[in-house]
Amino acid sequence: MDITEFQKRGKEMVDYIADYFKQLEKRPVYPDVEPGYLRPLIPDSAPQEPENFEDVLKDFERIIMPGVTHWHSPYFFAYFPTVGSFPALLADILSGGIGCLSFSWAASPACTELETVMLDWLGKMLNLPEEFLAGRDGEGGGVIQGSASEATLVTLLAARTKMIRRVQSENPELTEADVMSRLVAYASDQAHSSVEKAGSIGGVKIKTIPSNDKFAVCGSALKKVLHEDRAAGLIPFFFCATLGTTPCCSFDRLLELGPICNKENIWMHVDAAYAGSAFICPEFRYLLNGVEFADSFNFNPHKWLLINAECSALWVKKRSDLTSAFKVDPLYLQHCHQESGLVTDYRHWQIPLTRRFRSLKMWFVFRMYGIKGLQEHIRKHVKLSHEFENLVHQDERFEICAEVTLGLVCFRLKASNQLNEALLKSINEARKIHLVPCHLREKFVLRFAICSRTVESVHVQFAWKHISKLATDLLKEC
Amino acid sequence: MDITEFQKRGKEMVDYIADYFKQLEKRPVYPDVEPGYLRPLIPDSAPQEPENFEDVLKDFERIIMPGVTHWHSPYFFAYFPTVGSFPALLADILSGGIGCLSFSWAASPACTELETVMLDWLGKMLNLPEEFLAGRDGEGGGVIQGSASEATLVTLLAARTKMIRRVQSENPELTEADVMSRLVAYASDQAHSSVEKAGSIGGVKIKTIPSNDKFAVCGSALKKVLHEDRAAGLIPFFFCATLGTTPCCSFDRLLELGPICNKENIWMHVDAAYAGSAFICPEFRYLLNGVEFADSFNFNPHKWLLINAECSALWVKKRSDLTSAFKVDPLYLQHCHQESGLVTDYRHWQIPLTRRFRSLKMWFVFRMYGIKGLQEHIRKHVKLSHEFENLVHQDERFEICAEVTLGLVCFRLKASNQLNEALLKSINEARKIHLVPCHLREKFVLRFAICSRTVESVHVQFAWKHISKLATDLLKEC
C-alpha cells in the first residue's frame, strides 16, 4: 500500500468510524456469540498472496463486529467507563502515524518531555501537592503507565527495594531473601484484584485489611493488623489505599491511614483508577484529601477523562525511588545527555522498555476540551448516576447497597442472591443494556456504572424501565 | 467535537500523516534539541476553555516535530527497526475507533478470539511446533504482550511458580521464601537488559552465562554453571536463550541448550525479539531449530514484521503454566462462559488487566501483505545489510565485528575505542543518519541496523559514504 492508497483508505476508515458512532445505538450492546464462534469463520492460516482492503473491511463487519462488546454504546453500564473521545482518537492516529518510541529521552525527546509536562498539567488540575510534580527542578513527577495494574506493581516493587535496602543497612547480616520472606503489603478487602497480583509477582505476602460498614478501610483497622504483624516479626512495607473501589466506589480514609503509614515507614500508594478523574472538579476534590501523606498516586485518564486506552497516570514524590529500583543500563540504550538533571529516561519508571507516544492524546484532549469541558463531562455522569439512584429508591422492591458518590450505583432486589443472579442473567441475555455484578460481603449486587460519553437521561430512564420490567417478570415466575 | 467535525479532522489528520511520509527524507533524522527544550514552549497549565484543532496541530508541527526522532526515516539505522506499515496503521485507527477492551472473553469476544487465531496463523508462518498452537483443543497458544520485556517477565514468573510448587511438593517443610532464596535464572552475557530486570522484579538471582567467540551461549557453558550452582545448593529454574542478541544479533545454540534444560527441569524461554520475524522465510528458519525444546517463545512483530507497536508475540506450550501463576478472579470479572474449555481470558496471561484490540493489526497486515509480501520485506533488509557489510569490508580502515546474519552490521575503525566513540559522535551530530553503539567484550562498536520500511540501496550507499568521509576527517585530525 503506497502513500496515495493510504490516504484514500485512511479517509474511508475515518468515515467507517464516524458511521459506527452514528449507528451505535442500534447495535446490540452485548454480542450474541458463543465461545469459539470466530475460528470457523476465517481461514486456518495466513494467505500467501496479498488481499485487498475492501475485503478485509467487509470481513471486519461480517466476522468481528458480531463479536464486539460496544463499550461506547449509551446502553453500556458495565465495569467502569473507558470513554475516549474524538480528540484523543485524532492524537492516537497521529501518534501511530509518526510511530516514534520513547524508552529513553534520546529515542524521541519530544515524547518524553511532553509526557513530563502533561503529567504536571494533570497534577495541577487535580491540585496534587507540589511534591508530586516534576516542574523544573522537582524530585517528583509523573509517568504514563499502560494500566493501573502496572502502576500498583511498579510502586510495590520500588517500595520493596527501598525497604530491603533500609533493613539491610541496619542489619547487614540479613540476605535479600531473609528480608523478602518477612515483608508484608496491605490493601483493603475491597481493593482491585491487581493488588493481590502485584504482591504475588513481587514475591511478597499481601494481606487484606477489613473494610468497615461503608466498605472503607479506616486507621484503626490498619493499626490493628500492623500491630499483630510486627509482633509476629513481619516487616510491613507497602499499603495500597483505594479511592473508588471497583465493587462499589468506596473510599479508604486517607487522612487516618496516611499518618500511620508515614510514622511506620510504610510506602502508601493511592489507587484511584476510576475515581481520580472526578478530582478535577472542586466539589469532588475533598475525596483526595490525605494524598499529601502518600508516596505515590495513580488514576486512569483512560477510564473517565476522555482519553483513549492505554493511559494510566502515576505520580511519585521521589522519582529516584522508581529509577533506583529498575535501572539497568546497557550501552545501546545510553546517550550523552542521560546524566543531566533535566533528562528523564522513562524506561526506568516502568515494566516495559518500549512505549508509544502516549502523552499526545492528553495534550489534544486537555486543549480541545479545556478544563471546563472535562469538568462538565464528569458532572453529567455523576448527575445521571444520582438520577438512577433516585429511580431505584422509588421502587420498594429494590435497595441501594452502597453510598453513591460518583458514577456508580450498586443495587439489588430485596431478595435472595439467587433471584438477583437471575435478574442479572435476564438483563444481559436481553442484550438491550449491559451490566456486571459484584459481591458486597455476602450479597450478590448489580453494578450500574455510567459509562458512555454520549449517555443521556433518556438512556438511564430506558435502562431503569427495562430492569424494572424484567424484575416484574421474574417475580411473577417465583 | 461532534461526529461531523471528527470526520473532517480525521481526514485532515490522514493527509497530515501522508504528507509526513512524503517529506520524511527531508527531515533531519535525529532532533537538534537540548534536554528541557519543550517546557518553555508551552503553557504551565491546561487551558480552562477549549482550543481549536488547527491551533493544536500547528503547535504539533512547531513544538513537537523538532523534538522527534524519526524512526521511519530511511536514514534511521539505530537500535532495531520498529517499522509499522499503512495496513497496521489503518487497523490501529479502527481499533481506537471502536475502542473495546479485552481483559476477559466477555469484555469483547472478538478481541480475544481473533488474537488466539492470529497467533496460530503467525505460529504456522514460523513453522512453530504444533504444541505452541492453540488450535481447537491444544494445551498451548499465543498471546500479544506489549513488549518483549513483559514476555520475559511473564515467563520467568510462571517458571518461578512452577518450580516453587514442584520443590514444595517434594519438600513440604520448605516455605516459599526458602525456595525463592535458592532459585537462579540464567541468560547470556549478551542478553537484553530486560532479562536482568525481570529477575530483579521476580526477586530471584539471575546469572549470566559467558558467550563464546561468536557471542553465542553453547551447551558446555551452561552445563558448567549449572554444575557449580547445584553443588552450591541453588535451584536452577529458568534459562532465557536469545536468538538475535541486541548488541550484535548472535544466536544462542538452542540445539545444545534445549536438551540440557529439558533434562534439568529448567524452563527454557526463547527471546527472538528482533530476529523472530525473519523465521517466516524458509532460508532463515534453521536459526529457530531447537525451539521444540523450549517452554515459551517470543518475538516482536512490531519490530520487523510491519506491525505497529505495541505487538510482542508470546507462545507457550502449556497455557496453564501462565494462568496458574497469575489467576486472581473477582466476581466483577467473571462471566458465565469462563469455565468452558474454549474460552481464553487473556488477563491471566499478562501483567496488565486492560488491553486494546491489538490482534486487528496482525489480521490487516497478514492479509494485505500476504506471507509473500512479508518475506520480501525481510529479504530486502537482509540484502541491504550485506550490501553495507561489503562496503565496510572494502575499506581497510574498518573491521566487521560479528557475523552478519540478518539486518544488523557491527563494525568499527581498526583503532582505539576513543576514536570509535569520536566517530559515532560526529555521525550523530551531523544528523544525516542515526546510529547507536554497543560493547562487544572490551570493544566499542558501531551498530548499523537496517530499519525503515522504505530504506533502499541508495540510502545505504549514502550512509556509507557519509561515515567514510567523517572517518577520513577524524583520522586527519589525529
- Mean pLDDT is highest, among A346-360, B2-16, B331-345, for B2-16
Q: Residue B310 gets which letter from DSSP?
A: S
Given a cut of 90, whether residue A365 has pLDDT beyond it is yes
Minimal CA separation from B263 to chain A, in Å: 27
Given a cut of 90, whether residue A105 has pLDDT beyond it is no
The C-alpha cell that represents B134 in the structure block: 492453540
What are the residues facing A357 on neighbouring strands?
none
| B42 interface with A at CB cutoff 8 Å | yes
Q: In this predicted structure, what is the pLDDT of residue A332?
A: 64
Q: In this predicted structure, what is the pLDDT of residue A346?
A: 76
Cβ–Cβ under 8 Å, residues A454 and A406: no
Cβ–Cβ under 8 Å, residues A367 and B51: yes
What is B267-283 written as a DSSP string? EEEEE-TTGGGGGGSGG
Average pLDDT over residues B402-430: 97
Residue A148, H or E segment: helix A148-170
> Which residues 6+ apart lie within 8 Å of B113 measured at CB?
A35, A36, A37, A38, A39, A67, B105, B344
Minimal CA separation from B21 to chain A, in Å: 7
Minimal CA separation from B54 to chain A, in Å: 10
| B323 interface with A at CB cutoff 8 Å | no
Mind listing the pLDDT tens digit for each residue in A238-256? 999 999 999 999 999 999 9
- Return phi, psi of residue A450, to 5°: -75, 120
CA atoms within 13 A on the CB side of B243: 29
Mind listing the pLDDT tens digit for each residue in B355-376? 788 999 999 999 999 999 999 9
Computed on alpha carbons and rounded to an integer, the radius of gyration of chain A in Å comes to: 24
- Closest Cβ–Cβ partner in A17, A333, A368 for B50: A368
CA atoms within 13 A on the CB side of A184: 19
| B370 interface with A at CB cutoff 8 Å | yes
CA dist list (Å): A263 to A111, A221, A237: 38, 16, 12
Comparing C-alpha atoms, which of B330, B323, B363 is closest to residue B118? B363
- What single letter denotes the amino acid at residue A157? L
Question: Of A90-104, A127-141, A379-393, A444-458, which gets the smallest average pLDDT?
Answer: A90-104
Given a cut of 60, whether residue A42 has pLDDT beyond it is yes
Average pLDDT over residues B268-272: 98
Q: Does A310 sit behind a cis peptide bond, omega within 30 degrees of 0 on the bond before it?
A: yes
- Closest Cβ–Cβ partner in B114, B193, B332 for A328: B193
Cβ–Cβ gap A153/B109 under 8 Å: no
Mind listing the pLDDT tens digit for each residue in B163-173? 999 999 999 99
**Opening angle at CA A231, ends A225 and A232, nearest 5:** 90
Q: Residue A76 and residue A452: Cα distance in Å, rounded? A: 7
Given a cut of 70, whether residue B457 has pLDDT beyond it is yes
Share of chain A above pLDDT 90, in %: 84
Please name the residue of chain A whose CA is at the shortest distance from the CA of residue B113. A38
Residues B334, A242, A296, A288: what is their CA dihedral angle, to the nearest 10 degrees? Answer: 140
Q: Which of A108, A351, A363 to mutate to test the interface with B (most CBs of B within 10 A)?
A: A351
Q: Which chain A residues contact residue B124 at CB under 8 A?
A: 44-46
Cβ–Cβ under 8 Å, residues A439 and A445: yes
What's CA B191's distance to the chain center, in Å?
13
Average pLDDT over residues A89-100: 91
Q: In this predicted structure, what is the pLDDT of residue A345?
A: 79
Cβ–Cβ under 8 Å, residues A209 and A215: no
Comparing C-alpha atoms, which of A304, A338, A389 is closest to residue A103? A338
Mind listing the pLDDT tens digit for each residue in A291-309? 999 999 999 999 999 998 8
* Strand extents, DSSP E, B156-204: 183-188
Given a cut of 80, whether residue B340 has pLDDT beyond it is no
Per DSSP bridges, beta strands B312-316 and A443-449 are: unpaired
| A46 interface with B at CB cutoff 8 Å | yes
Per DSSP bridges, beta strands A296-299 and A312-316 are: antiparallel
Q: How many residues does chain B have?
A: 478
Q: In this predicted structure, what is the pLDDT of residue A342?
A: 62
> What ipTM does this complex have?
0.93
What's CA B146's distance to the chain center, in Å?
9
CA dist list (Å): A143 to A118, A174, A306, A316, B303: 9, 34, 18, 9, 24
